[in-house]
A and B are shown apart, each in its own frame.
Chain A
Amino acid sequence: MKFSLSWLKQYLTTTADAQAIADTLNRIGFEVESLAHTGAGFENVVIGHIKERVQHPNADRLGVCQVDVGEGKLRQIVCGAPNARAGLTVAVALPGAVLPGDFAIKVSKIREVESCGMICSQKELGLGTESNGIWEIENTKLQPGKPLTDLLGSDVIFDVSITPNRGDALSLYGMARDLAAAGVGTWVRFVAPKNAGQGKPAISVKIDTAGCKAFYGTSISGIKNTASHNTVQEHLKAVGTKIISAPVDATNEVMYSLGQPSHVYDADKIKGSIVVREAKTGESFVALDGNTYTLVNGDMVIADDSGVIGLAGIIGGASTGVSDTTTNLFVESAQFDKTRIAKTGQRLGIITDARYRFERGIDQAMTGPAHAAVIAQVTEICGGKVSETTLVGDATPAAREITFDAKLVRDFGGVEMTTDEVVRILEGLQYQVKRQGDVLQLNVPSHITLFDGVADVMEDILRIKGYDSIPATMPAVAASNIPGDQVAFDAEFKARKALAQQGYLETLTYSFISPAQAAAVGGQDPSLVLSNPISADLSVMRPRLLPGLMAGVVANLSRAETVVALGEVGKAYLPTGEVLYACGLRAGLKQGRHWAAGSGKPDIFDVKADAQAVIEALGYDTSKMQFKPNGRPWYHPGKVGELVLQGQGVGHFGEVHPMVCKQLGLKGAAVTFAVNLTNLMKLEKKVKPYAASPFQPVTRDFAFVVDADVAAGDVLQTLSGAGRELVKDAQIFDQYVGDKLPAGKKSIALSLTLQAGDRTLTEEEINGVAEKAVAAVQKRFGAELRA
């Protein structure tokens, strides 16, 4: 909320300066976002009288003015404004002035004619947004040469952010109350003017909904609609509200002053009588903002005999709006249910000051006084004859009492406070306190609209006491007594470190991707598509991490990065739940170019190693992991493997399908892996027994010729399975396909290391195992042992 210091001082008697007030506001819960001094920036801007204007000799659209700025002689100023003419009182920026936008005024020559300053528009001075030429100052009695600030005055504009629980502070009156309680001056209580009007209001009012608690109505007839006084205009300018006309400005001024929204109708445009009622579904009306709103059951309206003329507590209707020609007014100040207002306001997306205040709750004790204030202000400017004020419903706030033990402050706040101090603070905030020792009987003031009990009282006490006065104490040391999800959380970091150790740069991509990206990796269920995305590109919860990483890879390659390896540990979102993945994607070169080493492209065996490294990092042995040729549609069908541990699939590795690369914008190839950490963590961590043997191991090499489609891993498994208890290790160390073999065949070279724990193996035993192993391979794969 914005307001000026001078306005605040109507409700706060204080000698504190603006900075001290701002500091206190910050301390008691109102963040001061800015303090602006009006009049700053107007140095060297003075009042001037244009004495003469002649046509510029060298430019059709320019004039040359002689201006009296109180210097004894006239100043020559070139001016292009169409309305510049002799006799005007204007604002003149003299050389040395710096106007908004860092526009420095200097003596200059404009088309050969010297110009010693500038005659300003309001826009150029930062006082308005539109410019129709220079500012014609209405007060012609101002002496030439006087500083412009004599006209504008100098004031301080506060911009304070008010949290949603502080509806009571959405007014100068409420702000002043809190400042006074915090020790900055005294609160000036508002005394409502008496309405001496006579006769019933011209329009009768009926309440037909539980959502309206009370309705004050008053007629003012025979007014002359005109502009508000300067003070009111300045107040409203400070708030940033549009100046409209005296009656409308009065409702705004009173709302900002006292917190109660009111509404003025052109009484002649109201048909019959007014009823506050439930809206009927399908009803529509045109609001003051020019929009047509269609209502539903649950909305609350102000209606006359013709239909809806206002959305209760939110916005008035165009059909009964006050215009320049309005002569008879009807003034409304009412109390509406905050939940009802919030629902309708949210649904229709209408943001008004009235809704904002009703939604946060208004001080019901102020509805009547504010109504009287509006009437007084309107009649003061516009005249008119005032009726009696009718009150329909009950405006009295409900009494709320609570017992509060002042000793609780220490147990809860951790700060020592005397009961006297507690009482002083509460009374400052207008609680009514009956004291019995340390136990306080409190009557909660009506301005506190959000009241939940003791916690609210505690907050008020500690807030005004000041949080700086509360000591910082460590809670007693305690070991964690719950398991929580520490293991799963730590696993994420182990995976991240493993990625980094494998050379990946860990990135965090968005959890939402575009429909096209999702489609490239199998699509997403409609239940995981955002209803209100930032943009279509960020509308689908990612079913895989691959598309986001691919976008990163493409961007880096286009930035001339040659080695690209991005990894991410994060969730994929599936209808079955959120699944944690570790995913890596490599493209470009495998490593930077080097003078002594070739730099190939990363291949699927790089990402196979990466996947194994991640799984190992989480504490799982991958020596028994199986790799099955099972794919997913977004992998190259011939270069993909499923990672199978303890019989469970825990991920995939392989080359990204060229079509998918194309769809995701990658020119060239990429290899990727994804380990499903959620599934992996469900597996048992098996401890492998360690069996060291002092006896000599023996290694034998074999080469088999097999059909090209035989998996080397299967051959390895068969070979090592034949002599189980003596096999210490088995490795595949070479593969050959080529001219020296018949078509459709390949050769695989394997080594078998044998060792016994209790003896040196004899030649006979070694040969026995080897023969058995070879026979098994030959039998299963029709393999031929190469010499």
Chain B
Amino acid sequence: MDIQALQQQSLASVAQANTLEALEAARLEYLGKSGKVTGLLKEMGKLDPAQRQVIAPQLNQLRDALTTQIEEKKNAFELEAMNSKLLAEKVDITLPAMPYAQGRVHPVSATMAELSQIMKGLGFAVVQGPEVTTDFYNFTALNIPETHPARQDHDTFYLPKGEQGENRLLRTQTSNVQILAMERFQPPFRIIAPGRVYRCDSDQTHTPQFHQMEGMLIDKNVTFAHLKGTLQYLLSQFFGKEVRLRLRPSYFPFTEPSVEIDVGAEVLGDEGHKISKGTGWLEVLGAGMVHPNVLKHGGIDPTQWQGFAFGCGIERLAMLKYGINDLRLFFESHQSFLKHFGHHPAAR
């Protein structure tokens, strides 16, 4: 038998097979039990060794080549058949996905988490305090005695007097936690106190409740320059770029000197300049060096220790950063607002 001819004939016949059936017929013709190639392979034993050594490799090669080509072609035919079947299963991918029931974290909560994380990185631990408190913790211990004019600026909500005749009120500032922290911990320490505060005031730019974050650092050699450095860091981290700070002297009875801190409006681009009403500055928080009287009220010796404190309005910072223009929206439970400005739970 002419192996050369058989090779040409068999490969051509595989190549020409254009259906799965024709391919199977070709396979049976050459590689089936009584196929032509199989037949020759069976004859091998009868040949003399010298002849076998020449022919056997050629036949084996032919068998392998046919097997591979048939397999490849078979796979191709099957894929083709499968694809035409799959095309019939085509779906309209423009139909909506299953309703995405992803909730959101409130922007004020998210901002509070964001700020506390930045401060945590500087070693400030969260300390919490009650919202229903007394005038001692909210005012007196913070160097605001009963007749101090600053008390009148606070629009305080009062509750019926307590059992000991103490004046109960809703805290007007998270600064009440300063005193609690000094009572609980020995200096040096650094704390923040985020939380809800209340003022008896309601109009377009005031809501009777809002949120603040207090910060306080007490140590031996803390300076005003450290206050400036810390706030520069906090605000730059929060806004995501280096901010310019402006410090304006101000007055809070519990700090001295007291300052109000502005950031350069450029941090928010054109919008920032609009919000700043052309002044180029955005008021963001109040701060100062802890007043010696406050340290004394907290049981800390002001000749040994000094420190700084600051307090910022969470809503104010959230409004600036996220472009929210009406404070009241925060507390109105509108789902459209909460979906728009709320944060994905994995975002923080």
Chain A contacts to B: CB under 8 angstroms: 26-29, 31, 163-166, 338-339, 342-343, 346, 356, 359-360, 411-415, 452-456, 458-459, 462-463, 467-468, 470-475, 477-486, 488-489, 493, 496-512, 526-534, 538, 541, 549, 551-553, 555-556, 559, 561, 563-567, 569-571, 573, 577-578, 591-592, 594-597, 599
Contacts and interface: CB of A to CB of B under 8 A. Distances in A.
Contacts of B346: 497
A531 to B, nearest CB: 4
Q: Name, among B105, B153, B331, B346, the residue most crowded by chain A CB atoms within 10 Å (CB to CB).
A: B105
Contact of A164 (B149, B331, B335, B342): B149
A506 B158 CA distance: 28
B191 to A, nearest CB: 6
Interface in B36-81: none
22 contacts: A29-B250, A29-B251, A164-B150, A164-B251, A338-B147, A413-B223, A475-B122, A475-B219, A478-B190, A482-B185, A485-B127, A499-B105, A503-B103, A506-B103, A506-B342, A509-B331, A530-B157, A530-B159, A532-B200, A563-B101, A591-B99, A596-B98
Interface stretch (B24-32, B82-90, B268-276, B288-296): B288-296
A477 B120 CA distance: 11
A504 B103 contact: yes
Given A478-B190, A556-B333, A594-B98, A567 B292 contact: no
The 6 tightest CB contacts between A and B, nearest first, are A414-B225, A552-B333, A414-B223, A29-B249, A163-B251, A484-B125
B194 to A, nearest CB: 7
A258 B33 CA distance: 124
Interface stretch (B2-10, B13-21, B108-116, B134-142): B108-116
Interface in B296-348: 306, 330-336, 338-339, 342, 344-346, 348
B103 A567 contact: yes
A530 B333 CA distance: 23
B253 interface: yes
B338 A475 contact: no
A611 to B, nearest CB: 15
Interface string B174-188: 000000000011001
Contacts of A454: 292
Contact of B103 (A456, A502, A526, A531): A502
A468 B246 contact: yes
A2 B308 CA distance: 33
B126 interface: yes
Contact of A475 (B230, B248, B331): B230
Chain A CB count within 10 A is highest, among B209, B230, B257, for B257
B266 interface: no
B123 A471 contact: no
Contacts of A511: 131, 170, 196, 198, 209
B284 interface: no
A346 B293 contact: no
A599 B108 CA distance: 32
Nearest to B121: A477
Interface string B222-242: 111110111011000000000
Nearest to B101: A503
Contact of B124 (A480, A485, A498, A500): A480
B247 interface: yes
Given A411-B221, A564-B335, 17 more contacts: A164-B153, A342-B149, A359-B149, A412-B289, A458-B289, A463-B257, A471-B225, A473-B225, A493-B109, A506-B103, A506-B106, A507-B106, A511-B170, A531-B159, A534-B200, A569-B109, A594-B98
A277 to B, nearest CB: 20
Determine the main DSSP class of B at the interface with A. Answer: mixed
B233 A455 contact: no
A380 to B, nearest CB: 34
A501 B343 CA distance: 11
B96 A470 contact: no
Contacts of B230: 474-475
Given A339-B147, A452-B292, A473-B225, A483 B104 contact: no
B11 interface: no
B204 interface: no
Nearest to B186: A482
A352 to B, nearest CB: 14
Given A489-B128, A528-B132, A500 B224 contact: no
A498 B149 CA distance: 45
B248 A29 contact: yes
Nearest to A490: B126
B23 interface: no
B283 to A, nearest CB: 9
A527 B102 CA distance: 40
Given A459-B256, A500-B102, A555-B332, A538 B132 contact: no
A349 to B, nearest CB: 10
A531 B258 CA distance: 32
Interface size bracket, B side:
35 or more
B82 to A, nearest CB: 25
Contact of A458 (B124, B194, B256): B256
A578 B131 contact: yes
B189 A482 contact: yes
Contact of A597 (B98, B221, B249, B331): B98
Contacts of A473: 223, 225-226, 228-229
Contact of B256 (A343, A455, A577, A591): A455
Which of the listed residues A505, A553, A594 has the most CB atoms from chain B within 10 Å of its own CB? A505
Given A467-B249, A475-B222, A532 B208 contact: no
A505 B157 contact: no
Contact of B247 (A411, A467, A510, A592): A467
A600 to B, nearest CB: 12
Most chain B C-beta atoms within 10 Å of own C-beta, residue among A164, A507, A559? A507
B208 A512 contact: yes
Interface in B132-174: 132, 146-150, 152-153, 157-160, 162, 168, 170
B18 to A, nearest CB: 41
Contacts of B293: 452
A549 B208 CA distance: 18
B153 to A, nearest CB: 7
Contacts of B35: none
B280 interface: no
A164 B106 CA distance: 36
A577 B128 CA distance: 14
Contacts of B162: 527
A454 B280 CA distance: 34
B224 A415 contact: yes
Contacts of B260: 31
Contact of B159 (A414, A493, A499, A527): A527
A573 B258 CA distance: 34
Contacts of A553: 333
Contacts of A571: 131, 196
Contact of A489 (B126, B157, B208, B342): B126
Nearest to A569: B109
Contacts of A564: 335
B180 to A, nearest CB: 10
Contacts of B191: 482, 484
B103 A501 contact: yes
Contact of B224 (A412, A480, A482): A412
